[in-house]
Structure 1
Amino acid sequence: MSRDLEGARELVVGLAVQAGRLQIERRDTLRMGAPKAHANDVVSDVDIASERLIVEAIHAVWPDDAAQAEEGHGRAGASGWTWIVDPLDGTRNYVSRTGPWSVCIALYQGDQPRMAVVHDPAADETFSAVDGGGALLNGEPIHASSGPPLAEALVGVSFQPNPRTKERAGRVLRELLPVSGDIRRVPAALNLVYQAAGRLDGGLALDTNLWDIAAGALIAREAGVTLGGHGPDFTTELTIGAAPALWAELSAKVRAVA
């Protein structure tokens, strides 16, 4: 079953921007819900409202599509197409006003990512990609960095803040900090799209969910970022990305301890 992926991207960019505008407008009046998987896994009524906005609009256009959505608005489908939605990746940053967050929407055909959008509401930046069509930032092409040596590279790190994953992250940081140019902690989706734009030379994400990385991974891949995990394919347990020239050095360091 074919689909107009460019048309889908245009519609979804609009939805992501609309959700981002809602997040900006409601930031001063948000209400927190109970933590989910652990005490640091927070959710607000704005997360839920954003997801409802996105999923309901998508299903008004493609009612037979499935959806996997972080805050519970997923549904089964019969078309073979699935939407992967994280309405607010980086809720802790959003709530505490300590860093960036994003709206993430990806479209899969079977198990293959075909279109993706990551929108940063605070910076008014929209990253997107269509499978085989390259990556864009606000409509302009973007590319991975040239890949400096690890000693000069800026590396993004993302991880779930539960006790087990923080221990893993500690091992990785102890390995990378002495040998890398510098490290930034950012939410997983922005980690990947910053690599796509050449702002980060490489990065890694530990113990994510598919909705955290699905959109960013396609955008990164289309910009020329090399992706993998413990094997040739990245997973939610371990996602490593790097400019091609940096890949061997960075991935070897991370795989040794992650």
Structure 2
Amino acid sequence: MNLNNIYQVAIAAAYHAGEILNRYYGNLKDIHKKGAIDLVTEADVASEKAVKQIIQKHYPDHGIIAEESGTQNTQTPYEWIIDPLDGTTNYAHQIPIFSVSISFVVEKKPVVGVVFNPVAQELFCAIKGCGATYNQQSIAISQTKALSDSILVTGFPYNLREMIDPLITRFSNCLQSAQAVRRLGAASLDLCYVASGRFDGFWEQNLKPWDTAAGMLIAQEAGANITNFSDQSYHYNMSEIIATNGYIHQDLLECLAIH
């Protein structure tokens, strides 16, 4: 299988979806809840439809796992994992921090990842074993050695009201240990910002495969260390993720450990 062709299709799909998101941006007519604090808009649906059409045109036999429409054709080792709009709440409130996230996985392992912020025109990409890029320029993790000098980023799950105590404890530990903590609202971009050295570390709980499958590969290819809270190698089906530049990993794990 030619991964470069897969890579080009993923980029084309991300750009096309980005055009759709830009067109709807600030002009939404249909916003509704699919959970207590989880929004979906007509832009999510239109973006996902466009991405799926492009993939199915080129690779009709491949499986697709998508946030809005679910899973199809899972009897194949070749699957695409799609988040047509990561950061829907930001998008709905005209906060320009959101992305299209597309990953191609072989036997449940990401081998191509593309994350595109269409407002900022930021394109993060990776092919397994070939490094990571930002707008076609190579990127790498930060070299910050101490957690006390680090800028961290996190997010909160949609079911946060059911698990508020451990969330606040972990957030408090990190807030007291790091230089600063940010909360952007789009996990795919959080991972890409670790990959490009903008952030030194990221943690979050209860994410879905489409939130991390592309971003994790981009971060790994840029040199990031990615595990769960038990320091096991991360897979996109896990419920916890930590991604760091490596230097601060053990200290961040300690902050997230609830004794």
For the aligned pair, the TM-score class normalised by the smaller chain equals over 0.9
Retained in 2: the 8 A contact 1:165–1:206? no
| Structure 2 Cα separation of the partners of residues 204 and 77 of structure 1 | 29
- Aligned-pair CA distance for 1:77: 4.5
Structural mapping, 1:214-233, within 5 Å? 214-229=213-228, 230-233=230-233
Does 2:173 correspond to 1:175? yes
1:61-109 Cα deviation digits (max 9, x unpaired) = 1011000000015311554200000000000000012350010000110
Residue of structure 2 in register with 1:102 after alignment: 99
Residue of structure 2 in register with 1:23 after alignment: 21
Q: 1:138 to 1:82 in 2, by over 3 A?
A: same
Aligned AA for 2:137? E
Retained in 2: the 8 A contact 1:55–1:73? no
Aligned AA for 2:46? A
Retained in 2: the 8 A contact 1:64–1:78? no
The normalised TM-score by structure 1 is: 0.94
Retained in 1: the 8 A contact 2:227–2:233? yes
Structural mapping, 1:25-174, within 5 Å? 25-36=23-34, 38-72=35-69, 74-162=71-159, 163-174=161-172
Q: 1:169 to 1:79 in 2, by over 3 A?
A: same
Retained in 2: the 8 A contact 1:51–1:73? no
| Structure 2 Cα separation of the partners of residues 24 and 223 of structure 1 | 28
- Aligned-pair CA distance for 1:181: 0.4
The normalised TM-score by structure 2 is: 0.93
SS of structure 2 residue aligned to 1:189: helix
Aligned AA for 1:172? R
| Structure 2 Cα separation of the partners of residues 256 and 242 of structure 1 | 19
1:168-192 Cα deviation digits (max 9, x unpaired) = 3212111111111000112111110
Identical residues among aligned pairs (%): 29
Does 2:193 correspond to 1:194? yes
| Structure 2 Cα separation of the partners of residues 13 and 86 of structure 1 | 14
Retained in 1: the 8 A contact 2:141–2:224? yes
Runs of 4+ in structure 1 deviating by more than 4 angstroms, as ranges, are none
